[in-house]
Amino acid sequence: MRRIHPFAPPTATNITTTTTTTTTTTTSSWKTPEQTTVTAYYQTEKNKLGKDERKVSVKVGPNAPRISFKFQSLVTVKYGELAQLSCQATGEPTPQIFWISPQNDVIPMSSDKFQITENGMLVVKKVTLAEEGKYACVARNSAGGIKITYGQTLNLPCTVDGWPQASITWTLPNGFTLDKPQSIGRVTFLANGTLQMRQIATFDKGTYICKASNSFGTSTLSYPITVMVYPPHITSMLPSITRVNRGSPVKLNCIATGVPKPEISWTLPGRTTLEGSLVIRSPVLMNSGIYKCNAKNALGTDFKSTYLQVNWLCHSNSTASAIPLMAYYLKW
C-alpha cells in the first residue's frame, strides 16, 4: 500500500532516563524479481530494564524520481510582477518535472501565463489575483511506471496519513478532477482513496495524480500509466491450396492473437464477407476460389489466403479418380 503524507504540525517529546541504553543496528539487502533493492534495518535497544527491537524496510529504485528541494511554503509577489517557484528532483532516467495549478490542472510547459524551465522552475508571468493559491510540483520518469493490458481493471491506491485529516483529490491525464468518492462511467473514486478504472483503453494512458491536502500543506503521488496493446497476428497455418472433393464438408480455421482481441472475418471469392470460422457443408465446383481470412483490431489488420479447389469425383471400373475444376470435356 502506497502512502502519502501531508505536512503535520511538529510534536515535541521529553524523555528522561537514568539507565544506560545500548543500541545495535544491523542491515541486510536483497533484490526483488523486479530488480528493486530492498534494505532492512534491524535496531535493538537494550538496558537493565529490558530489550526492544524494531525493523524498518526501505525500498530503493529502480531509480525512481525524488524531489530533493522543497519549494517555498509561501511566495509573496507584487501584482503584475514575475513569480518563480523552484523544484529540483533526482532520478535515472532524469525525471520530468511538471506542476499542478491551484485549480488542480496540469500546467503546460509553455503558455501565455506560465513557463516551466529546463531545471523545473515554474515561472508565472504578470501575476494577478487569479494566479493566487497552492502550486504542487510533481516529478516523474519511466522508473516505477505501471503497465497494464488493454481491457483490464486498473486500481491506484492512495492512502493518507496525517493530522488534521486530509482531503483527497484525483486528477486524470485529461485534466478532469474528482474531489470526492463517486462513480462516473468506467471511473470510480472509492471511499478508501483508491481510484479504479474498468475496461482500460489506449486513451486512458498518462499520469494520474493523487493530491492530499490539509491545513498544513499538500502532498502528491503520481502514477504514470502505459496501456499495452498489440496488433493482430494470424497464428494458424493456411495452405496455399486447400483441396476437397465435391460434397465433402470443409472447415477453414483462422486463429489470431492481438490486444484488443481481433475480430475474425472471411472474404469469399464473390467478395462476400462472413465472420468467425468458415464451414462449407456441401461444396460444389462453383465454390472454388480464393478465401481470405482477415484479423482486425484498433491497431491494424493481418490476413492470410488459401485457394479452395473443389474436385469432381468420378468412378470408372471401381477406380476413383479426381478431376480438377478446370477440366475440359470434349464431345463429338
Q: What predicted TM-score, i.e. pTM, was given to this entire model?
A: 0.45
* Chain center to CA of 268: 39
Cβ–Cβ under 8 Å, residues 113 and 127: no
Q: Looking at residues 242-257, what average pLDDT do you find?
A: 92
Which grid coordinates are listed for 91? 532520478
More confident residue, 177 or 59: 177
What's the pLDDT band for 229 if we cut at 50, 70, 90? Answer: confident
pLDDT of residue 53: 57
- φ and ψ at residue 124, rounded to 5 degrees: -105, 120
Domains of the chain: 66-140 (2.60.40.10), 146-228 (2.60.40.10), 231-323 (2.60.40.10)
More confident residue, 79 or 25: 79
